[in-house]
């Protein structure tokens, strides 16, 4: 099977359409699936890659310096294995901010529609040529520097070198490409959950096994990572000897958003792992109809040669992205029945 980077790199510009805008094409890999359906985070990563690539290849007048800030996607139909098209058109192209819309199509059916907000790189950085503007920007971003508010304590408690690899709860066909190790300290510190109305949290260290993967080089990978967690229902207790109720359920995503935070600068990146990240999941609302929320923070991880004895390692980590989902809970039907909710 192809690593996720290879799948994303295969996305190519196809043609320009007078009504649609720009059309990009790719292939949904049959290995990046869970419970027979393409992984939602993987699909959103493909959409994000097409969006970033289009801005780099098609824009002019300095807009090639745009960096992604936020993406919101509505999942209308389930994606399938095979060819996929991304129809991209510009909603707004401004000097500092730009918004584009990306719709994924398979077999002439629209499956996902997303809007991506970009910011010009020059706006995201403090200008050194305009002192008055620079001071204003400096004052506004000061709480977000590494030494202050942006560098809040990493929510994962256990150092990655002290955790053990954990099997995936579901049959992810891409389990040969990634692995994770749950932070059991998070699990053990919360009170016993008696019902699905109480808040719940979960955390793990996730690692890409492909040596070429680099979370700092590919923003689209953060879309995938924000969709890697144990679902609310999967974390509920079950009586000994009984099957877990989540085994008979499917959790289709309805709306999915990712906020990309300012990444570490090149001098700081060398302190972090490029393939391993921390995942911190929380969920507070699970309604009677099964609609529930999920919030996932993606954090940097200490470099592989950094030991648990490194004092203050949690203070040194940076949050890279925050994903928010609204998902449903439905009976787990056959894959052929999962084309619509």
Range of the domain at 24: 4-125+139-337
Q: How far apart are CA 221 and CA 271, in angstroms?
A: 19
Measured from the Cβ of residue 206, the count of other Cβ atoms closer than 10 Å reads 21
Token pair listed for 82: 């095979």
Model pTM score: 0.86
Task: Give the model's pLDDT for residue 191.
Answer: 59
Residue 203 lies in a domain: yes
pLDDT at position 120: 85
Q: Which two tokens stand for residue 185?
A: 């300290």
**How far, in Å, CA of 285 to CA of 251, rounded?**
14
* Model pLDDT for residues 113-132, shown as the tens digit of each residue: 999 999 987 766 643 334 43
Is the residue at 132 inside a domain? no
Report the alpha-carbon distance of residue 221 to residue 41 in Å, rounded.
Answer: 9
Please give the pLDDT value at position 193.
54
The answer to whether residue 133 sits within a structural domain is no
CA distance 208 to 176: 9
Residue 327 falls inside a structural domain: yes
- Residue 66 has what pLDDT? 84
Tell me what pLDDT residue 337 has.
Answer: 47
Residue 226 lies in a domain: yes
Residues with pLDDT less than 50, the chain: 62, 64, 126-150, 335-337, 339
Number of domains in the chain: 1
Residue 131 lies in a domain: no
Amino acid 123: pLDDT: 65
Give the residue from 302, 274, 272 showing the smallest Cα distance to 214.
Answer: 274
134 in a structural domain: no
**CATH number reported for the structural domain that contains residue 72 in this entry:** 2.40.160.210
**209, 5 Cβ separation under 8 angstroms:** no
């Amino acid at each position: 099977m192809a690593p996720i980077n290879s799948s994303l790199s295969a996305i190519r510009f196809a043609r320009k359409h007078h009504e649609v805008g720009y059309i990009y094409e790719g292939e949904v890999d049959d290995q990046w699936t869970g419970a027979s359906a393409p992984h939602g985070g993987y699909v959103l990563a493909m959409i994000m890659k097409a969006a970033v690539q289009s801005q780099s290849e098609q824009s002019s007048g300095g807009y090639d310096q745009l960096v992604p800030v936020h993406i919101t996607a509505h999942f209308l139909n389930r994606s399938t294995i095979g060819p996929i098209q991304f129809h991209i058109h510009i909603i707004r192209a401004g000097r500092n901010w730009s918004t584009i819309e990306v719709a994924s199509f398979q077999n002439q059916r629209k499956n996902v529609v997303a809007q991506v907000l970009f910011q010009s790189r020059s706006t995201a950085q403090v200008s050194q040529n305009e002192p008055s503007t620079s001071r204003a920007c400096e004052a506004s971003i000061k709480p977000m520097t590494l030494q202050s508010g942006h560098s809040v304590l990493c929510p994962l408690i256990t150092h990655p070198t002290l955790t053990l690899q954990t099997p995936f709860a579901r049959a992810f066909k891409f389990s040969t490409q990634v692995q994770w190790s749950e932070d059991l300290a998070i699990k053990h510190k919360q009170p016993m959950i008696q019902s699905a109305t109480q808040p719940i949290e979960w955390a793990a260290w996730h690692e890409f096994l492909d040596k070429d993967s680099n979370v700092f080089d590919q923003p689209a990978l953060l879309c995938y990572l924000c969709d890697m967690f144990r679902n609310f229902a999967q974390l509920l207790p079950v009586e000994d000897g009984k099957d877990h109720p989540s085994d008979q359920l499917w959790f289709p995503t309805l709306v999915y958003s990712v906020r990309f935070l300012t990444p570490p600068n090149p001098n700081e990146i060398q302190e972090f792992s490029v393939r391993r990240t921390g995942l911190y999941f929380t969920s507070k609302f699970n309604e009677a109809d099964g609609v529930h929320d999920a919030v996932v923070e993606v954090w940097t991880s200490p470099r592989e040669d950094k030991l648990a004895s490194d004092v203050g390692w949690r203070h040194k980590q940076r949050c890279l992205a925050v994903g928010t989902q609204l998902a449903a809970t439905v009976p787990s039907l056959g894959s052929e029945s999962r084309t619509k909710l």
